[in-house]
Amino acid sequence: MNLNFQDADVDILDNLDRLLQWLCSSILNKLNLVDNSSNYWEKWRTRLGSKVIYTHYLDECLLPQIPNAIALGLDNIEEIFKYPDITTDFFGLLRAWHEKAKHETIWQKLRLIVVHSKDAHIPLKINQSPFNVGLPIEIPAE
């Protein structure tokens, strides 16, 4: 399954909460799954923060609905770099999800494939970056 960040509207990309809701909703939509969140977002987001609540949503609501592991391609993810206010939080969260998959069985259902331009500047601390974990694959230019 592929999500292209160029498909997201600007008002989604410039806000972490809206970006994470777009990500979760897009996954649900592509997999034809039921959104059983109702008021889940509003009830907890202000108390726990966006990163915690969306991680919990994946853990408790979305991933249990997936019978087998899925590969989620995040294409043109360098679009996020245009919004420095959310860059660190978003990419740090992807890194955290990668780390969860090492220790929690349910998170092994989500395989992230992060696709970005080699020309993109990656302004992240080494321990918050999803770009220095996993298996890097470079596709040569034609």
Whole-number pLDDT of residue 53: 87
For 20-79, the pLDDT digits (tens) are 989 988 988 998 887 766 666 666 666 778 888 889 888 888 899 888 999 989 888 888
pLDDT of residue 128 exceeding 60: no
Q: Sign of the C-alpha dihedral, residues 79, 32, 44, 110?
A: negative
Q: Is pLDDT of 123 > 90?
A: no
Mean pLDDT rounded to a whole number for the chain = 80
Q: Is the pLDDT of residue 91 over 60?
A: yes
pTM (predicted TM-score): 0.78
CB 50 within 8 A of CB 17: yes
Find out whether 125 and 119 touch, Cβ atoms under 8 Å.
Answer: no
The residue that leads in pLDDT, 4 or 43, is 4
